[in-house]
């Protein structure tokens, strides 16, 4: 029996991949907020096909990491009540790794995964690195100072498109910010999961 705590604000639709394959003993709690509170018909269909018990938990927002704190509180409550054998936090927010380590030292299995299928963050990072490398090919040929790993680090570090743009300007300064603008415009199609326009 497994319990999945889904940070829907963070993973959006991709985090629900595999939900329709869960069994009757599994449980899923989807944490959402007014910042992320809609699903597609396809997602709805997959949720309805699932044999798992599914709860929806609308969380209060208004402070930084509000959803994260409420998810962590729920995890502690579930563990105290021995609600499952294993627990999974479905999020791309690496901050949750601290919870995994905390509970591991207390012999409780808590694993951070990118989606319900169990895809790891390393897989996501490698996939993003490959996509960035493909997008940045022209720029890498023209500008030897630009590094795929540096751009990857910026993309993973910032939650908003504006934050990524600002970090690129700082990392790759130039007159009228032309270098950073060119990089940003090139990678922008890969930033659909980031906040902002």
For residue 61, the model assigns a pLDDT of 82
The reported pTM is 0.67
Sign, Cα dihedral of 76, 81, 85, 89: negative
Confidence band (pLDDT; 50, 70, 90) for 121?
Answer: low
Q: Quick count: other Cβ atoms within 10 Å of Cβ 101?
A: 11
Greater confidence (71 vs 140) lies with 71
Pick the CATH number of 2-119 from 1.20.1250, 3.40.1350, 3.40.50, 3.40.1010: 3.40.1010
Task: Assess whether pLDDT exceeds 80 at residue 124.
Answer: no
At a CB cut-off of 8 Å and minimum separation 6, what does 177 contact?
169
Is pLDDT of 143 > 80? yes
Instruction: Give the residue-averaged pLDDT of 163-173.
Output: 93
């Amino acid at each position: 029996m497994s319990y999945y705590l889904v940070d829907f604000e963070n993973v959006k639709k991709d985090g629900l991949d595999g939900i329709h394959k869960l069994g009757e003993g599994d449980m899923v709690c989807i944490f959402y907020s007014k910042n992320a509170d809609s699903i597609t018909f396809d997602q709805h269909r997959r949720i309805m096909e699932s044999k798992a018990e599914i709860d929806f938990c609308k969380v209060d927002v208004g402070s930084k990491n509000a959803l994260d704190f409420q998810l962590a509180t729920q995890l502690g409550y579930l563990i105290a009540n021995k609600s499952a054998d294993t627990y999974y936090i479905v999020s791309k927010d690496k901050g949750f790794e601290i919870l995994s380590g905390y509970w591991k030292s207390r012999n409780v299995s808590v694993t951070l995964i990118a989606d319900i299928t169990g895809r790891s963050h390393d897989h996501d990072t490698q996939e993003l690195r490959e996509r960035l490398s493909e997008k940045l090919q022209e720029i890498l040929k023209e500008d030897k100072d630009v590094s795929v790993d540096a751009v990857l680090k910026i993309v993973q570090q910032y939650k908003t498109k504006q934050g990524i743009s600002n970090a690129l300007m700082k990392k790759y300064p130039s007159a009228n910010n032309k270098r950073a603008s060119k990089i940003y415009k090139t990678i922008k199609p890969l930033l659909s999961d980031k906040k902002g326009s």
